[in-house]
Structure 1
């Protein structure tokens, strides 16, 4: 299976099996193995991506590694066409059953693939997990997706997402001009900045009379937290290593260093030394592990909601349409936006991205998210910052003079540069704990810290209100023609964020001049459906010359709700009814709840496949269910011949069922 085409919410994804990389889930995380030739990625979907003995084929080497006593699971790694990022199947599969399929019926399918059910959700989604007896999860998902009993089956994948960070051109400066820009930095007088090209954070502190509230928690989701850094020490609450579901965060260069500067821009402490974040008094919720995995994405945002994060800062994402957020990704983020903070909603901030494109990070474009672009020390648009509809605001970052941020103890900087210029653009040493930083990676936690100041001023604001305040109070920068008649720009959003004006508006709204109205959506009920007391099996043969029945024009059952699907086209049928013994086999095609639709579908099945059709009437969850099957067949071999014929004519693979099971 060197290539496999798998179903995806973003269209089918063609994956090619790597000839070098595999994923290992070890019983003891990080333990060395002689079979491992090189460690490539320490954590992707819960697996350590490695290369194995180069003298063996990838299949033989993986089988050998799987037999190692320290390996719990071994899996192949894949690549999408035209992309050099490894893809790992996490072993989770999201399934949606066809209408009318009951729990007993679906269990037969899951048992056939040795799947365990992790969650049975109210919306009909069943979250499954492969077991040691299951086939490859990609194969399982592809097979499930072909079954008529299942409307969709998507394997959960993980792929490295893009961290929106710009490597220092050759270092960065110490003074935090992004908080208050006076036109210069003290030890680089030759480089001029634009007076006022800042986020007005110091002015916001003065208005508040403090540095924000210690009750506000900013969650940062990223890789590489140095929680022993002088400006972050003692600030962490509810830490989470996402893939292992552990409160212990991994450290060291193998696990990244991006999270440390991002966290410092938002909440670095005012402790008399080093730098200061936008909201120095706020606490930090560190979540280690960037992931595309749906299941792990749900875990990360659910963790933020459960542990009372107020703001969630994400300086990462993707512009690759193959890995745009799917239904479960968006549902997890929407849940945080709407149900976090006891129903007021977490404020979720995403970076627009650094690719310099005319469209933004897909995660940043999710409704309700605050999408952040970057502006420069000259109050201009940073050329690398993505543009497009969806940007809320921009915030000061690199592009003119960079900003200063915390550096993880293991961060080696730009090793291609001379030793004295690995951390600072001009080579001037400003301490081992800091570095120059930029990109939308820096702009995003700056906005997250400003949101913490806004909630410090008025903790009763909803996530919708916080986003609206930032957009309404932003300063228009750039050219007037960059904005449309509504005051919106695809370069700047609603403008450069203004912390002081945003805090002032939050204080004004705290005075009670603004109220929030809650609208309750009316519940529409569907009239009950009359159901038979005893399930029966009815055969509708192709030769329908025996009995003619006209469908009554006036229904005796209650009228359906206006949204009930109606059959169009033929509504006059000729059919005969013959009892069918529960012997032999049938090929289940679908399950339907509307009798009129059943008649129409029987007609279409007979015409297309020239095979007899069975209809089984039963009760599923209190409603009448009509199961449509091709058959009967005396033997399984006869049923297999019919199945191949149907598939060759374009049908989804039907489900073989002994009629005795109906």
Structure 2
């Protein structure tokens, strides 16, 4: 018993240590809206315009104040002290000031991907899509130490591209360690800001000088170049130039990639930098943000930024982390509070939850009740930072699964820009392939290891291709899942009657069953014969409407 108590106590100490990981000379504060005055605020002179707060800043010797987002909107800033402080004690003192809404440490988060060695020698240097990008197209030939491969354990990307390859006017932001912006396989895809030119002047008045290609919050400059590699790999998963005879194919072939550097050369960064990047992405037109970063501390600052994204209809795709447990990491853990957040776990080339990743025997895709979906994330090849023609690095982590999901989400929005982040998340969940992992983990419907299942890009895009009619409204038709009695039960909530085509297909597009029925208002029972347990796509269509569902057949 004593040994067990010591073990639990040691684990608790480790947990507390991680929870206290923050910058030692910084404090994040948010000033109450009614106390803040833009006219009195002077960031150059470290003056907030609130006497009691300015006296505190003088007492603790503030070196500088750094706004998070636009100060007039967020009223949040990072106070940087002249020397390391007992931050938790200072936090308490600042929290008691009546002008302060909250004060918290500037927590530190880490990227959730680890780089492996150079490419395996058994792989050819040509046809990288077929030989290395198993997560997009898995023909069963991919080989990696410690990981088996199952044909079609992928997201059916080649089928999805028949439907959508990306809108060139849509922007996907990648908040990470930056990007190798001159790499030949992505350089032409890098976003630039029309309102900003390189002239040493803040042309658009956002407080950032010459931020024409994103921003670097680590070094506080306009050059978000990657000095670690994590961000370049993640960005390439989304936006590597396709069909150019070089390297890899990104999930999205046309949309712009906005590089936002918040992680340093050691792959760690502060919550303040993360939050600032989210505000920046929203304010500069991004519709999807991929953030393969996680920290163990909840944060009001980060939650405020995510709420700002939600208010402005911007989707955040975040990683579950790689600790093979259900300890929540942020921002992914905010998926239960904000429906514009998608928390992503990782799978292997055999469709099982990644456990372990190639780089550590104790690693594994983290899990928990906040997970939404999973996607391929181990042995993921991509672009490197060693040169502008670097192709031979591979990574593993929920970091790599996250941009894949973000890329598919961007294709959904390219196809139907009017969708809300919550609707995009719902589409990815409803069309995910269920019960592909270990039976003990991947149970029917939602489970804490895989969420709603491994995403399927084709099924997701196919579900978006709907005819415009009143029948698209939520609640028109309801399908009861799982299907357990040999009948599909459809509830028709509106008066769309008459001859209706029912088609059941596998996720690879193969037709399993095809019927014509007389659809009635209310309850309809559709018999199915000879179908094995598994997930399928159900299409219900007549002259008035078309609607697509995911169904789970279970015996």
Does TM, normalized by the shorter one, top 0.5?
Answer: yes
Question: Where on the TM-score scale, by shorter chain, does this alignment land: which range?
Answer: 0.5 to 0.7
d(CA) in 1 for partners of 2:376, 2:95? 50
**Corresponding residue number in structure 2 for 1:269:** 241
Shift of residue 207, structure 1, vs aligned partner? 2.8
Q: Does 1:364 find its partner at 2:332?
A: yes
Whether contact under 8 Å (1:89, 1:137) holds in the other structure is yes
**Corresponding residue number in structure 1 for 2:210:** none
What secondary structure does 1:395 align onto? strand
Q: In the TM superposition, what whole-angstrom CA distance separates every residue of 1:104-138 from its partner, at most 9, and x where no partner exists?
A: 99524523543798879899967574687x99694
**Corresponding residue number in structure 2 for 1:571:** none
Structure 1 pair 473–156 and aligned structure 2 pair: CA distance change class (3 A): same
2:437 pairs, out of 453, 478, 484, with 478
Whether contact under 8 Å (2:116, 2:394) holds in the other structure is yes
Q: Does 1:239 find its partner at 2:231?
A: no
What secondary structure does 2:466 align onto? helix
2:231 pairs, out of 255, 259, 271, with 259
Shift of residue 484, structure 1, vs aligned partner? 5.8
What secondary structure does 1:378 align onto? coil
d(CA) in 1 for partners of 2:385, 2:65? 40
2:139 pairs, out of 159, 182, 185, with 182
Deviates more, 1:488-497 or 1:115-124: 115-124
User: How do 1:632-643 residues align onto structure 2 when only pairs under 5 Å count?
Assistant: none
Shift of residue 313, structure 1, vs aligned partner? 0.5
Shift of residue 295, structure 1, vs aligned partner? 3.7
Shift of residue 243, structure 1, vs aligned partner? 3.9
1:495 pairs, out of 453, 457, 464, with 453
Let me know the Cα RMSD of the aligned residues.
Answer: 4.0
User: How do 1:423-438 residues align onto structure 2 when only pairs under 5 Å count?
Assistant: 432-438=390-396
d(CA) in 2 for partners of 1:101, 1:268? 44
Q: Does 1:407 find its partner at 2:384?
A: yes
Larger Rg: 1
1:214 pairs, out of 165, 168, 171, with 168
**Corresponding residue number in structure 2 for 1:168:** 116
1:303 pairs, out of 280, 285, 296, with 280
1:111 pairs, out of 52, 55, 64, with 55
Structure 1 pair 177–307 and aligned structure 2 pair: CA distance change class (3 A): same
What TM-score do you get using the length of structure 2 for normalisation?
A: 0.63
Shift of residue 382, structure 1, vs aligned partner? 0.9
Q: In the TM superposition, what whole-angstrom CA distance separates every residue of 1:373-413 from its partner, at most 9, and x where no partner exists?
A: 11111111111101111111111122xxx2321111269xx
What secondary structure does 2:23 align onto? strand
1:141 pairs, out of 82, 87, 90, with 90
d(CA) in 1 for partners of 2:235, 2:174? 6
Shift of residue 330, structure 1, vs aligned partner? 0.7
Shift of residue 197, structure 1, vs aligned partner? 0.5
Query: Where in structure 1 are there 5+ consecutive unaligned residues?
Result: 1-78, 340-344, 412-430, 518-662
Whether contact under 8 Å (2:346, 2:401) holds in the other structure is yes
How many residues matched? 399
d(CA) in 2 for partners of 1:101, 1:497? 45
1:376 pairs, out of 348, 359, 369, with 348
Whether contact under 8 Å (1:90, 1:293) holds in the other structure is no
Shift of residue 282, structure 1, vs aligned partner? 1.8
Shift of residue 242, structure 1, vs aligned partner? 1.9
**Corresponding residue number in structure 1 for 2:7:** none
Q: In the TM superposition, what whole-angstrom CA distance separates every residue of 1:74-132 from its partner, at most 9, and x where no partner exists?
A: xxxxx998469974356554156799999999524523543798879899967574687
**Corresponding residue number in structure 1 for 2:426:** 468
Q: Does 1:385 find its partner at 2:365?
A: yes
